[in-house]
A and B are shown apart, each in its own frame.
Chain A
């Protein structure tokens, strides 16, 4: 009893108020009910005729905590002596440790006015539902020893090819992409407009064309000039995908027409610059630029012109 109460002590109380369907929860609930009966009987024994629900609850809680503590402590003692099962002495030591006079216990147990509580109805042990099995597990092939784990369920590794043709029609794809993007954008902006301040072009209607209110920035040029992360990412993607774009029929035609010397040159110079700046790091010390020089320490001997 103490052992089981030790683990999930709190969860039982929490689920008390809620209607729970979980078998484990049911179990805790039942145990809690038993404790409540115990408390009530003890109260009756002490001469109370009635008690407020809250006080009964509190006492139950205290009792439960007490039992839990006994369990926890006893477990520690038994583990301390390298055992897994607590023995009576563990319990006794625990009780002593908690300041309980063990000697009074037999007398208390034999007291005359004690009430006997019927054992709680045996609740079903919570059953862990069986994993869904689909089909027969494959037996091990001969070269695998039998003590190895079984094969997983077939559905986890068997593939079922579907032969429905994917949508490859260009027009439909574009159409889909466009409307999808538009829907996302619209939903997003509507959401933003709903959750924040808005402005409207019409006095009588603020919801049909809601404009997200203009908000000044503290440093406006940063948002205006820096490319967004999305754009940077996009650019990296296009850079890497440029080579294989050659295969795309639509792009070949375009590529031919891009024999613009200006861009070629620009690319070249960018590349050149990259390589240059790369090599620069190595020879940083060679560059003599006054702005790269270290800042000098003030000289004491030199009188400041300020004074």
Chain B
């Protein structure tokens, strides 16, 4: 921490203080988490938390906390029993009775449910009533201590237990448990304020088996045996204010390794893996040094812990002063491919320690700053560690990814601003989910969000220079570390929270530059830029006429106005030009510096100052232009499609030194299958100085070109002689040298070339025999005995190469595939695969790469009709107990089988696995793969698409995945892919064609019917009496069916209930809450609620309570509410609480309400919210008696 940093931070504080206002009427200062029992056998946890809070308003009467799936026994405030209500609307988003099956409806309801418990809006699942004895105390704003006893039984999310079923004690079995989840998921394992913006200090205590270690955040103060000496208690203190969402835990029989370079860093791994851990973490100190140096700031915590666990939720999860990694990142010194990947994970985790854990965010819309900064400094580390080429290549890759994603889905918005208005002001209406909460986001969107965030940070760096950028980071960190050492009373903790506003303010203070346009373009707005460029050379004027068009009408695009750099390589050198892209100017004239010359032999200067000889015979004699690049520095998030002649691309490939340009020209050359392109690519392949990734992609391009010019191709198959020259013995060219992977560049090339070669096809569109036998020889003569490194990845790629060589079988009148009619080439391939797969059983390779490749290859053989299509093999490999990579590969094959063979059975099998598999990552991955490779899509007719499936998926996302945000969003993605946004077409018409539009106070035809069944419905409407539902909407009250009855008495009753409940609470709600209420009055919200539960209340506890009761005895949420009522004695604690006074109230209401339950149960199933625009489009609007009554109903009167 630099002294200047502190001073400047002090100076700026006054100005920046505008910052943070807590959404809660209290401030949390300290929290104790004590878990005194963990049972691995039963997978249960018992403990308590104690939150120390200071009320910030005088009449605080209710305290809302977050808690999910915890069973709460007892709540005490300052040792007084307190009443509490536990309700979680996200458990079941849309209630059962709803037959709505459209995703629009679900997404709205889900977003509403999430915000109803969103801590950033001051909400929570757990609502605690402050005992009346303490009101006076509260009015004096004195400290409150909330003590909550809770337990967790078989948690489905938040905490993950891994208990291998072998003999021995839990420690011997390697059983462990760890916290996991996506974004703020701490509420899954203990009650807390699960927000990134509520910081407090922590005391964490975990009592575990004596053979186990509990790793958690902060400093391990002491470890104490329990009295029976069979258990140990780990006491942790975290004095740096930290958000609950950054609290984590890992317990297991870990092996402990103190980092030999930094003794305050400790690594943990599962038994037997210590040698791997030593090797893997031996590099970490360099990452530390790098970050501390560039940020000129010490690592903020006093210690750091890395834990490597099995069945990880994500590969890397960063928490305050500790990171949880997948154990599969561990590797030995023999493994090449995994090493950089693992190091990248370590560096990522460490970057997030600074930005994400130590510095937290104010609100969800500020997330991009943290992800951006951590991603950006991680990029700087990449540049330093792997070199500029790797860095630029990575940036290009990330840019391509985000561009492709945005163009596909319609945009990623980094900084969503939500107007105070209604939820419908969704800034991302093109998406099938709400981006208002992290928990409603599709996982893919979130990954892309992170990707865009760091790219935008890089754009900012381009604008203000890296020096300033790092100064800004340093300033944020200095501010935070000053604040962190202060007492709570100083009110400085909020300085540890970063906001978009604060960040931008810092930037302008430090750099003095205005980056507002940049922010507006990339942060406040979604979309990327799509450029089309072409040019003409005007010889007379010696001017380059460049035309740059933009597409800003397709989804995911935006218009770009501003500077754009264009680099022109001429004969006399390389020149940069900055064009101003404006509204209407498409053409830009760029004067050329050099005249064309043909015969003068002179070296040509390049951008980097190098001078080279070129063979200029290929170029246009009249023009001095060698090649042109648009936006070479990637300073716009864009896609460029640029047209230039093939020889220009070839020059660019050969002589431009930027790897991005080389990559782009390789891509462009695919369209020019000429001998010249072939030569350029071959030259690149042979150049040792060339970046290995460029050479790798040149391989694939060469294969494509060779295929396009198959009729004119001369000489041996592409790359064969090259490979022979590089990797085979001089004396016997058909035998590959014994493996020596000391040079990684040539290792990667050696791995890739055969894979690309296998893509070659002859005139009959078959893989040339020569190539196949070449690959088989490579496998045959592969000899790794003298190698320092493992060749498992190499062998796996050889199998991939075999799979690539497979072409569709020639099938005579659909004969059944048997061994007898097996193609001889395929027989050879199959023999290799069989041998490899069997050898894996005896000598398994690292991460079973070979099994994975074999499974993929078998699926390729099946798909091409050489082997009977059958997925029983894959299903056996997909079972729990195989290594996760194998499982994923096998599941991928099953997913593909489901699609190709349209197998309902396999689809059911997959869906079942999504619900029951013990590994969260696998569940997530199945959904993800089904979404990527769906068995059918919304516009397709498929026998698989039926009502049962719709119901099943609906149930999955509605209530089946409530324990895992990521999984639920994955289910939503799948539903969207299969059925689209509207009601699935395979469903029959809804029974009730009528809905009540409360806003408009009239009943209208259910708008969900319209998109698919509009005409049919109109027809039926003109023919009254032929459909049951018609009778329904003509006179809803005449129907005796409960479902169709619009019972206004119930409306009235529930209103009465709510007002009664309000009376019970007696005190007016706190001002802090009022602020966050929608502008409409309370009463106008209520009928929405009472008319069915499809809209989830945002801030009102009365509602949520009422919702939970409605379903008593039916589903899980009710069970929860029952516990919270204290009606079910669960333990000693609970018994006490049932007898306490507070519960009497609840019982009273409970009974009163039960009488009404039946009526509530079936009301207004088909209520649908839709805006007036929709309504105008309706062919009919019905005014029914119902609407008339609802106007008069007390609930609607203002």
Contacts and interface: CB of A to CB of B under 8 A. Distances in A.
A46 to B, nearest CB: 64
B1031 to A, nearest CB: 55
A98 interface: no
Given A216-B879, A221-B270, A209 B830 contact: yes
A8 B746 CA distance: 72
B786 A245 contact: yes
Nearest to B303: A290
B226 A298 contact: yes
B1180 interface: no
B818 A202 contact: yes
A297 B831 CA distance: 63
A201 B873 contact: yes
Interface in B268-297: 270, 272-273, 276, 278-279, 282-283
Contact of B876 (A177, A199, A218, A254): A199
A185 B841 CA distance: 12
A273 B732 CA distance: 42
Contacts of B745: 260
B806 to A, nearest CB: 14
Contacts of A203: 868, 870
Contacts of A186: 835
A219 B223 contact: no
Interface string B727-752: 00101100101001011111000000
B333 interface: yes
A217 B881 contact: yes
Given A231-B334, A290-B220, A211 B781 contact: no
A250 interface: yes
A211 B867 contact: no
A223 B745 CA distance: 29
B258 A254 contact: no
Interface string A199-236: 10111110011111111111111111111101100110
B902 interface: no
A47 interface: no
A188 B229 CA distance: 51
A234 B792 CA distance: 14
B839 A185 contact: yes
Contact of B786 (A215, A221, A238, A296): A238
Interface stretch (A64-72, A114-122, A123-131, A262-270): A262-270
Nearest to B36: A306
Nearest to A210: B834
A305 B36 CA distance: 10
B269 to A, nearest CB: 10
Contacts of A222: 272-273
Nearest to B224: A296
Nearest to A241: B786
Contact of B263 (A171, A235, A287): A287
Contacts of A178: 780-781, 783
A219 B225 contact: no
B742 A219 contact: no
B1188 interface: no
Interface in A272-295: 273, 276-277, 280, 287-293, 295
A241 B868 CA distance: 48
B808 interface: no
**Listed residue (A189, A211, A214, A299) with the most chain B CB atoms within 10 angstroms of its CB:** A214
A302 B304 CA distance: 30
Contacts of B2: none
Contacts of B838: 189, 192-193, 210-212
Contacts of B785: 234, 238
Contacts of A226: 272-273, 276, 332
B363 to A, nearest CB: 35
Contacts of A234: 784-785
A140 interface: no
B973 interface: no
B342 to A, nearest CB: 11
A255 interface: yes
A178 B839 CA distance: 15
Contacts of A298: 224-227, 229
B220 A291 contact: yes
Nearest to A239: B788
Interface stretch (B102-110, B243-251, B843-851): B843-851
Given A208-B819, A250-B729, A230 B867 contact: no
B1050 to A, nearest CB: 48
Contacts of B817: 202
Interface string B787-800: 11010000000000
A148 interface: no
**Nearest 3 A-B pairs (CB), nearest first?**
A216-B881, A189-B838, A258-B742
10 contacts: A201-B861, A204-B818, A208-B819, A212-B837, A225-B328, A241-B786, A269-B283, A287-B263, A295-B225, A295-B232
